[in-house]
Structure 1
Amino acid sequence: MKGIIFTEFIDLVEAKFGLDTLDDILESAGDDGVYTSVGSYDHRKLVQLVVMLSNKTGIPAEDLQRVFGQSVFNNLYSSLPKSSSLENCQSTFQFIRLVEDYIHTEVKKLYQDANPPRFDFISESETEMEFDYRSARCMAHVCLGLLEGCAAHFEQSINVEMVPQVEDGSNVRFKVVLVE
């Protein structure tokens, strides 16, 4: 997993819960907290930090992942290289399509070791989109938060339904509905 995800998580924990909480969860996890945005790290370290934060705060890990996804969207969006595809993107659904069709492809070109999630699109209309999120990292709640952050960025309202397709969470079906 790319280091930018780790650095964003550490920044979020410090901003929302304070430096003492960040120090506590890093110490509990046996983690020095030293990550670079361009480095690659084992995603299980991030999962461990989320679990430690959940234990410390009493907030369910799924809720923490969701809030993380919501908060990190704009920073990730602004870090993307400018392209005509991104500049022409005007809606949540257009951007979701770009994630699979452009962004994940470009990430793989830049980082041969990258293994981004995959979106398999099932159906799409002007007001609904359905796709399967597939990832060995099983972080569908981060994806949910990213979808919500994306909708906020484009000033749209959405309802999202998540239905796990397998027990381990590596394949989750998302149904996203635009709310007028």
Structure 2
Amino acid sequence: MKGIIFTEFMELVEDKFGLEVLDEVLEMSGDEGIYTAVGSYDHNDLVKLIVNLSKKTKIDPATLQQVFGQTVFKTLLASIPETASIGQSHSTFQFIRHVEDYIHVEVKKLYSDAQPPKFYFISETETEMVMDYQSARCMSNVCLGLIEGCATHFGETITVDMSPQSDDSSLVRFHLTLA
């Protein structure tokens, strides 16, 4: 997992809960908190940070992942070159389609060892999109938060239903409905 995810997570924790809580979560996790945005790190370290933040704050880990996804969307959006096709998106559905066609492709070009999640588009109309999200990291709630952050960016109201398609939640179906 790319370090930018770790650095953004730690920034969110510090902003929302304070430096003292961040330090306690790092200590609980046996983590020094030294990450670079371009480095690659084991996603299990992020999971451990989220679980320990949940213990500390009494907030469900799924909710923490979702809020993280909502927050990190802005940072990821800002990192996209203005000339990129994804930057020309005018709706949440357009943007999500471009994630698979542009962002994940670019990530693989830049970092040959990267393993971004995969989106499999099942169906789409003007008001509904059904897609499968597949990731060995099983962080579909981060994906949910990213979708919500995207909808907010485009000023759209979207309801999202998630249903695991595998026992370990490495494959999750998202049904998005534009209100």
Q: TM-score range by the shorter chain?
A: over 0.9
Is the contact made by 2:120 and 2:131 (CA closer than 8 Å) also made in structure 1? yes
Q: How many Å separate the matches in 2 of 1:20 and 1:87?
A: 37
Q: Which moved more, 1:10-19 or 1:81-90?
A: 81-90
Could you state the TM-score of these two structures normalised by the residue count of structure 2?
A: 0.98
SS in 2 for 1:174: strand
Aligned equivalent of 1:12 = 12
Give CA deviations for 1:83-103 in whole Å, capped at 9, x if unaligned.
341232110000000000111
Aligned equivalent of 1:64 = 64
Unpaired stretches in structure 2, ≥5 consecutive residues: none
Give the letter for the 1:101 counterpart: D
Give the letter for the 1:113 counterpart: D
Q: How many Å separate the matches in 2 of 1:83 and 1:73?
A: 19
SS in 2 for 1:96: helix
**Identity, % of aligned positions:** 63
Aligned equivalent of 1:55 = 55
Q: How many Å separate the matches in 2 of 1:22 and 1:53?
A: 8
Give CA deviations for 1:27-67 in whole Å, capped at 9, x if unaligned.
01110001000000000000000000001111000000000
Q: How many Å separate the matches in 1 of 2:45 and 2:81?
A: 27
Shift of 1:82: 2.8
Q: How many Å separate the matches in 1 of 2:32 and 2:105?
A: 32
Q: How many Å separate the matches in 2 of 1:30 and 1:132?
A: 34
Show structure 1 runs of 4+ deviating over 3 A: none
SS in 2 for 1:177: strand
Aligned equivalent of 2:122 = 122
Could you state the TM-score of these two structures normalised by the residue count of structure 1?
A: 0.98
Give the letter for the 1:40 counterpart: S
Give the letter for the 1:155 counterpart: G
SS in 2 for 1:44: helix
Unpaired stretches in structure 1, ≥5 consecutive residues: none
Give the letter for the 2:100 counterpart: E
